[in-house]
Amino acid sequence: MFKKISLLSCATATLLASNGTNLIGTSTVSRAMGGTGVAFYSHATEALHKNVSLMGDIEKDEFQIDMTYFRADITSSVQDDNPLNFGPSNGAAISATSQNMPTTNFIPSMAYATRINDNTVFGVAMIGAAGMATQYEGEYAQRQLNSSMMLMKIIPGISYRQGNTTFGIAPVLGLGSMRLNYDEAYLDENGDYYGDGKKPQSQREGLFGTDAGGESLVPAFGWTAGIDIKVTPKLRIGANYNSSLKYTYKDVANFSQFGANGMVYMADEYMHSVTGSGLTNSNTGQELADQLIGVGLNPTLANAIGSLSSSIGGSDTVFEALEASNPNNLDDLTLEQPWELAFGLAYDISDKATVTADYRYIAWGLAEGYSYFGWENQHVFALGAEYKADGYALRFGYNYAESPIKQVAGETGSFLTNVQDHYVFDQALSMLNMVGFPAITTTHFTAGFGYEISENMDLDMAVMYAPESTHERSGSLLPLDADTTGLPADFTFFDYEYITKMQQFSLSAGLNYRF
């Protein structure tokens, strides 16, 4: 039963890259109003997530449950002109559409809140809060990349009201699961030259044997605190802080394959394709280059590959590099969900109409893990409106934030980034960002309605549409100091380009019961 509840609560969409990896909102009302909710109370779920102090608004005990259907349509184009690349993306851009994963298309949340006394309210929420995923099974240009990250939060909080000001605070238990399954090998459909009988990375199962998340569920601990002030009978302002949540995911990927060791791995594949056996009698980068020249590879290209491979260090042999890049040697990854600071206001235009506005700062660029991948801090702007009359409510909203992943042209892909003691080519980071975790959505339009079923029960519905966003990263793996003597002026070997397009749609329903 615990496994089923955990999987349901952690379930995230095919790709929840709305504000980075975060949903714009968790409750149905917030999702109808552009993700606002820092100074506007709708239900306990969103209060515990956006500003815990807002729980002070409940009049009776509340139980709420929401369910969101989320779909992201993602297409990635890959071109990689590395001469060792025997895949279809060498010399031509190959597009593929990420396959839908039905297990991860539904996102639940639920909450309960009760008034302890006139000033104090206690509540607890279980929220499917964030995540992302792509799946390119059978798409060798995309390296059959199969990524999934899903996050949930359990938040028990308390609010205290004094006059027109309410304070709230809550500890946060985060539960997360992640995988980054990537097949370096092109030539072997099983993605494995090592004969150990293990599945290739792209075929690894997720949490509890599903296609969601990684092989295990890991905890993280944090806190959230907020304040709201009723400035006038019509105007309300609020502020909230969410601490970071640091997860260490188990057996995420072999990060050695994304650096110089991976280049040796590709050279070994190349030798397999030409001679039927891998690299032999090669210890240094220069010896590797000489062997590639011996089987007919352009000397300039071979020497460039030898130079790239030498960055593993003079004492490392080719054999050691191949062992290090074995896809089954999996590494853990610490990935910190960043701290956030948010401000909001809500203004009653009339007894029936309210407008809301939120600003949120998300510190991706300061978070361990995301900073290695080059993510930048994000500014989120959200607007919402609600009109209520005769037991009905109409709601509209808008949400905008620049992608935390910047677009890049002319990147030097051979530069190395230290990802938790693994030196990874910047080209590999671009590929993982664009194909594995393309958090590129910027604009969201939302709408919804509410219906008062009875004095104690409300039904809410919401729809969200994010129009197609396009993101591109391109460059060359050729080192800046590489000797290109004898190569034509329009030389393009080692060039690469990743282009990703994505649009999103979601439909939410929520039921709130007061007793």
Choosing from 303, 329, 355, the residue where a domain stops is 329
3-state secondary structure of 49: helix
In a domain, 265, yes or no: yes
pLDDT of residue 10: 47
In a domain, 498, yes or no: yes
Q: What is the mean pLDDT of each run of 10 residues along the chain (515 residues)?
A: 44 56 91 96 92 94 93 89 75 79 74 95 90 79 82 95 96 91 58 49 67 79 97 97 95 85 81 74 77 83 78 59 74 94 97 97 96 95 96 97 93 89 91 91 96 95 96 84 60 82 94 94
Residue 296 to residues 293, 373, 446, 450: CA-CA distances in angstroms? 5, 36, 58, 70
Question: Could you tell me the two tokens for 513?
Answer: 């019961």
Choosing from 329, 349, 373, the residue where a domain stops is 329
Distance CA 263, CA 267 (A): 6
**Residues 165, 48 share a domain:** yes
**Residues 242, 261 share a domain:** no
**Residues 292, 367 share a domain:** no
**Residues 121, 37 share a domain:** yes
Please give the model's pTM, rounded to 2 decimal places.
Answer: 0.89
**Residues 334, 321 share a domain:** no
Number of domains comprising the chain: 2
Residue 435, amino acid = V
CATH of the domain at 56: 2.40.160.60
Distance CA 448, CA 510 (A): 11
pLDDT of residue 248: 94
**Could you list the residue range(s) of the whole structural domain that residue 376 is in?**
2-188+220-252+330-514
**Residues 65, 17 share a domain:** yes
Helix axis angle, 260-275 relative to 299-309, nearest 10°?
140
Choosing from 329, 355, 388, the residue where a domain stops is 329
**Cβ contact 132:12 at 8 Å:** yes
In a domain, 210, yes or no: no
CA atoms 8, 14, 20, 24: torsion sign: negative
**Residues 319, 394 share a domain:** no
What is the DSSP secondary-structure string of 312-357?
A: G-TT--HHHHHHHT-TTS-EEEEEEEPPEEEEEEEEESSSSEEEEE
For residue 418, how many other CB atoms are within 10 A of its CB?
Answer: 10
Q: Which residues are paired to 512 by β-bridges?
A: 64, 458
Among 146, 126, 128, which Cα is nearest to 136's?
A: 146
**Residues 353, 288 share a domain:** no
**Residues 505, 424 share a domain:** yes
In a domain, 231, yes or no: yes
**Residues 262, 372 share a domain:** no
Residue 118, C-beta contacts closer than 8 angstroms, at least 6 positions apart: none
**Residues 180, 76 share a domain:** yes
**Residues 47, 180 share a domain:** yes
* Continuous segment of H or E residues that includes residue 465: strand 457-476
Among 432, 445, 503, 506, which Cα is nearest to 74's?
A: 503
